[in-house]
Amino acid sequence: METLANLALGFSVALSPYTLLLAVVGCFIGTIIGALPGLGPSNGVAILIPISFALGLDATAALVLMTSVYYGAMYGGRISSILLNIPGDEPALMTTLDGYPMAKRGEAGNALVLSGVASFVGALLATIGLILLAPVLARVAFLFGPAEYFALYLLAFCTLGGMASNNQAKSAIAACIGLGIAMIGVDSSSGLPRLTGGNLHLYDGVDFLVAIVGLFAIAELFFFIESHGKGSSIGVVLDKVSIPWKYIKQTMPTMLRASGVGFVAGVLPGAGASLGSFLAYMTEKSIAGEKGGFGTGVPKGIAAPEAGNNSAAGGALVPMLTLGVPGSGTTAVLLALLMTLNITPGPTLFRDNPDVVWGLIASLLIANVVLLVMNVPMVKIFVKILSVPAWILLPGVTMISTTGIFALTGSYFDLLMLVGFGVLGYFLRKLDVPTVPVILGILLGGNMEDALRRAMTLSDGDPTYLFSSWIAIGFWVAAILGFVAPMFLRGILKKPEGHVD
């Protein structure tokens, strides 16, 4: 009953004509961002945060816009997977396996609509899961003290690093780069500058927006320069689009199962949507068995990863909202948005800002419906946008991101740092060092250190205090397992080979 009342509150916030308009605009922009190869959800949200902030949107409006973009990008990623065999974003990788073969068979329209419906089912179920699970988790989180929080942050870094990278040492270095950068600036307790090298520009610390936009968007420009914009032309023709009821009915159980798998994967801190789509696909593949024909363009092979991916995207919001620990790269960026808006996620968010939380949840539901309506009849428009050539797209994205940062801070120093982060991002990605832990480190470094300091102050400097409760010990064990286990599982969890022309 309480949940319904809260939802009503949320809808009363989110259902004004203005916010509805923002939701539609956000969904449209998000789908385009997700569809364009090289511009994932993290990039998209990251580029738009400075702009939406410079626009002076209030918290609810900015949140509605950005979550619409986030969900939209999750939908859009599948379009280029199916038509170009290039995942529009990382979680859409699994969709290429069956989506592209199906499109090549002349069923591109069916594949797009089916994946759209699967996305809708996944996202809808995940949002319902979020509504049920988040308040419960928020109540549990009230039991957390500094020791528990420190262990929880550690867990996020360990699992994220373990999943995101092929080399544990590299993900640890990535996390350290981020955390190390977060330490720069004036220390909150002493009021004295730390690690600034005497540079006045660094007294305020490094703005995480600069880091995010640099590592994601500017680095992408360098990658396109390296590849000279090759590999972004449409290989499949899309003629007529109709609704394949038969496929939808046939794959419904798959979608439901995949949504469940995806949601669980999303809720785990640090795992995120890529793991969700991967696990959903692999589960369905093993249920279907040999004669299921996975990899040859079967409807189930499209429905499973899309439902899983979108469900995980919703699930990843649970730890982000209740604990302040994002479950994926994109939720990290959304966390950055909340922090920019001066909203601190965590258990208190549900108590102190119910309008924000439930407005967000309501706007997720709205965005989801808008996206389904938008994606089925308008899919052709998005396909057209895919043919924007790289030589205009990437300079455009670069200019939008630099101007966004400039409009926000007006400082040449931030722009130079932006370029620096772009170069860093290029080298890190070249060397197979994951960049998401860097972002997470910059975002969470301050909180993580605060937790450690408070723990040390409470215990008068006794390090065993960090292991003083069963919850904390559980997190430590999970963190160590999450970091070590992927080393042994890597052989088993090998990603299937993509389709090569």
Closer residue to another protein (CB): 69 or 273: 69
Closer residue to another protein (CB): 376 or 423: 423
- To another protein, the closest distance from the beta carbon of 439 in angstroms equals 16
Angle at 75 between CA 71 and CA 79, to 5 degrees: 155
Closer residue to another protein (CB): 133 or 385: 385
Helices in 228-298 by DSSP H: which ranges?
245-267, 272-288
- To another protein, the closest distance from the beta carbon of 424 in angstroms equals 11
- To another protein, the closest distance from the beta carbon of 406 in angstroms equals 6
Closer residue to another protein (CB): 16 or 227: 227
Strand, coil or helix: what is 293? coil
Closer residue to another protein (CB): 234 or 376: 234
- d(C-alpha 297, C-alpha 194), whole Å: 56
Q: Length of the chain in residues, anyone? A: 501
Tell me the three-class secondary structure of 399-467, residue by residue: HHHHHHHHHHHCCHHHHHHHHHHHHHHHHHHHCCCCCHHHHHHHHHHHHHHHHHHHHHHHCCCCHHHHH
- To another protein, the closest distance from the beta carbon of 197 in angstroms equals 8
Q: Judging by beta carbons within 10 Å of its beta carbon (0-12, 13-18, 19+), is residue 307 exposed, middle or buried?
A: buried
Closer residue to another protein (CB): 197 or 289: 197
Closer residue to another protein (CB): 263 or 483: 483
- To another protein, the closest distance from the beta carbon of 55 in angstroms equals 6
Residues 50 and 212 sit within 8 Å (Cβ to Cβ):
no
- To another protein, the closest distance from the beta carbon of 355 in angstroms equals 26
Strand, coil or helix: what is 194? strand
* All residues at 6 or more sequence positions from 11 whose CB lies less than 8 Å from its CB, including other chains: 362
- d(C-alpha 190, C-alpha 461), whole Å: 18
Q: What Å distances lie between residue 438 and 171, 209, 369, 394, 452, CA to CA?
A: 9, 12, 34, 23, 19
- To another protein, the closest distance from the beta carbon of 234 in angstroms equals 17
In DSSP notation, 309-346 reads: HHHHHHHTHHHHHHHS--SSHHHHHHHHHHHHTT---S
The closest alpha carbon to 317, from 129, 90, 53, belongs to 129
Report the relative pairing of strands 185-186 and 193-194 from DSSP bridges: antiparallel
Residues of the shown chain interacting with another protein in the complex, contacts defined by CB under 8 A: 51, 54-55, 166-167, 169-170, 172-173, 175-177, 179-180, 183, 187, 189-195, 197, 218, 221-222, 224-226, 228-229, 389-392, 394-396, 398-400, 402-403, 406-407, 410, 412, 415-416, 418-419, 422-423, 426-427, 430-433, 448-449, 452-453, 456-457, 461
For 473, other C-beta atoms within 10 Å of its C-beta total 15
Closer residue to another protein (CB): 170 or 300: 170
- To another protein, the closest distance from the beta carbon of 425 in angstroms equals 12
- d(C-alpha 89, C-alpha 244), whole Å: 25
Strand, coil or helix: what is 88? coil
Residue in the block written with tokens 């500058």? 193
Closer residue to another protein (CB): 187 or 352: 187
Residues 99 and 78 sit within 8 Å (Cβ to Cβ):
yes
For residue 408 the two structure tokens come to 């926000």
- To another protein, the closest distance from the beta carbon of 436 in angstroms equals 16
- To another protein, the closest distance from the beta carbon of 64 in angstroms equals 17
Closer residue to another protein (CB): 123 or 397: 397
Helices in 165-244 by DSSP H: which ranges?
168-182, 208-213, 219-227
The closest alpha carbon to 266, from 340, 190, 330, belongs to 330
The closest alpha carbon to 95, from 69, 114, 123, 71, belongs to 114
- To another protein, the closest distance from the beta carbon of 33 in angstroms equals 16
Closer residue to another protein (CB): 181 or 258: 181
- To another protein, the closest distance from the beta carbon of 316 in angstroms equals 25
Closer residue to another protein (CB): 11 or 53: 53
